[in-house]
Structure 1
Amino acid sequence: MYSGPKVTLEQVLDNRERRANRQREWAEAHSLPLISFTINMVGEVKLNQISRTAFSQGYQAIVQACSTHNIEMVSLEKYSSDCGAELLISAGNIEPDALKRVMVEIEDTHSLGRLFDIDILDSQCVSLSRDTYGLPRRKCFVCGNEAKICARSRAHPLPALIDKMSEMINDCN
């Protein structure tokens, strides 16, 4: 489940910069809020069966939520590289703060939501944070503590994280 091409930190950082450039280009081109979706994949293998399955589930959940909430998907594009899969959607007829709340609901309620990283950017390409809206911070999928604290302190060994992610994927199927 975890096999695939290994990537370096430099590749991940370069990919992050390419994503930020695409986001800026989309914000300029569409002048609409953006949904930017990736998978929180630990380790040096970012494109594998875990991330592919999680991305597919997240993509379906986002499209379904847009349909349910009558959010117009003005433009949609998927990208894939050794650094993982990505989705960009320009969202029409909804305010960025309302869009953020819809996407947080997916992250907080979907069985794989903790693996999802759904960012909302306003039409000026400014990322909207949970803190701005008084929304709860993301929880660690291993222990339930605040995810950023566990990540920074490397509280859990990589094999434990991968095992937990595999378990989540298996439970979802």
Structure 2
Amino acid sequence: MSLYFKGEEQTLDDILRAREIRVNNQHYLLDKYGSTVVSYKLNIPGPVKYNSLVKQIYDEGLLVFKQKINEYPIHMLYEKEFIKNSGPEYLAVFDISAALIKELTTSIEENHPLGRLYDFDVLDAKGRQISREDLGISPRKCLLCDNNAFACGRSRAHGVNELIDKIESMAIDYFQLMR
């Protein structure tokens, strides 16, 4: 098993509770601001959703996102981070089109060496999630093969340990190069 993926294991109830809280927070922000909402978290399989390596990966994704946002005249109305054992999360509200934000986040997911681990959800002012397909972008590919990531996940084509090993390897390679 993994050298770095140790931490407090989360149950299905823990994950579902975190998801429910995230959705409630998104709806609250939509009601309050009536503008584009971004929700960022990581795609981490298995029961351990938070540890020092996960936090390092998450922090890198958030840094890249904020740098990308700062390249444009985009006004942020709200932002907040939630660091918890079910996984770190970030919520923000912007006064710009959801499609533009989705293009930016998809670019990060597609082009950053750790981008496959980043999960940016973008909701428009009406609460509709903007999909990659809405922008004419193909679905995400699996971390381990060239198949559709959703299909691989649903069919459990790859074991959790195999996926964790890949994530660990990607992160170690990336952060060693950054030194």
TM-score bucket of the superposed structures, by smaller chain: over 0.9
In structure 2, the residue matched to 1:95 is 97
In structure 2, the residue matched to 1:160 is 162
Which residue identity is paired with 1:160?
E
Q: Which moved more, 1:3-12 or 1:127-136?
A: 127-136
2:135 to 133, 137, 156: 133
The residue correspondences of 1:82-121 to structure 2 (distance < 5 A) are 82-92=85-95, 94-121=96-123
Task: Give me the whole-angstrom Cα distance separating, in 1, the residues matched to 2:35 and 2:102.
Answer: 13
Task: Give SS of 1:87's match.
Answer: strand
TM-score after normalising by structure 1: 0.96
The residue correspondences of 1:1-173 to structure 2 (distance < 5 A) are 1-92=4-95, 94-173=96-175
Report the alpha carbon displacement of residue 51 of structure 1 after superposing the two structures with TM.
1.7
Report the alpha carbon displacement of residue 144 of structure 1 after superposing the two structures with TM.
2.3
Q: Gaps (5+ residues) in structure 1?
A: none
Moved over 2 A (4+): none
Report the alpha carbon displacement of residue 50 of structure 1 after superposing the two structures with TM.
3.1
Task: Give SS of 1:36's match.
Answer: strand
Task: Give SS of 1:169's match.
Answer: helix
Report the alpha carbon displacement of residue 70 of structure 1 after superposing the two structures with TM.
2.2
| Structure 1 contact 76–90 (Cα < 8 Å) conserved | yes
Q: Aligned residue pairs: how many?
A: 172
1:107-130 CA distance string (max 9 Å, x none): 100110000000100112211111
Report the alpha carbon displacement of residue 87 of structure 1 after superposing the two structures with TM.
0.3
Which residue identity is paired with 2:115?
G
TM-score after normalising by structure 2: 0.93
Report the alpha carbon displacement of residue 30 of structure 1 after superposing the two structures with TM.
1.1
Task: Give SS of 1:84's match.
Answer: coil
| Structure 1 contact 50–165 (Cα < 8 Å) conserved | no
Report the alpha carbon displacement of residue 89 of structure 1 after superposing the two structures with TM.
0.7
Task: Give SS of 1:68's match.
Answer: coil
| Structure 1 contact 66–72 (Cα < 8 Å) conserved | no
Which residue identity is paired with 2:134?
T
Which residue identity is paired with 1:108?
E
